[in-house]
Amino acid sequence: MQTYNPENFTIQCAKEQTYEKFYETEIALRKQLKYPPFCDIMVVNFNSEDETEIQSISNWMQETLKKTLNQEQFRVFRATPAPIDKIQNRYRYRIIIKGKMTKEANQILNKVLKEVYSKNLKTTRVTIDVNPNSMM
């Protein structure tokens, strides 16, 4: 294995084959930070040829989700450009939401998504990914 950081806790646990130590540390950290499996992470992805349109709709959706999702159960982060903010002349934005995905939350997300598509956007597409494998 090659690494720039051989002293990293995860690398050390792998080297020493101390699964239990790694698990106990990782699960405590995930609980403290409210990461899966203690909550769900939902990523609302936007992509568009029109930068003004994508900024407008992502900001609108973020404000709408903040108002409609229970603020004690969900944390809605600000709409921001994705880590790779443009691919093939399409701008990319995203909103990250942390909380437990329930039937009620699913209904709210679907309702807001329908509202977005009822706006007849020219080039913007919106998708929602629950517990994505990659955050890129």
Q: What is the 3-state secondary structure (H, E, C) of 19-73?
A: HHHHHHHHHHHHHHHCCCCCCEEEEEEEEECCHHHHHHHHHHHHHHHHHHCCCCC
Confidence of residue 126 (pLDDT cuts 50, 70, 90): very high
Check residue 53 and give its pLDDT: 94
* Bridge partners, residue 40, by sequence: 99
pLDDT band at 99 (very low <50, low <70, confident <90, very high): very high
64-79 per-position pLDDT tens digit: 999 999 888 999 999 9
User: What are the residue ranges spanned by the domains of the chain?
Assistant: 1-33, 40-130
Over residues 5-58, the pLDDT tens digits come to 999 999 999 999 999 999 999 999 999 988 889 999 999 999 999 999 999 999
Q: What is the mean pLDDT of residues 106-135?
A: 90
From residue 134, how far is each of 20, 43, 49, 55, 120 by CA, in Å? 25, 10, 23, 22, 29
CATH entry 3.90.226.10 includes domain 40-130 = no
Q: Mean of the pLDDT values across residues 97-118?
A: 92
* pLDDT score, position 119: 87
* pLDDT of residue 135 exceeding 90: no
Helices (H) and strands (E) in the chain, counts: 4, 5
pLDDT of residue 24: 96
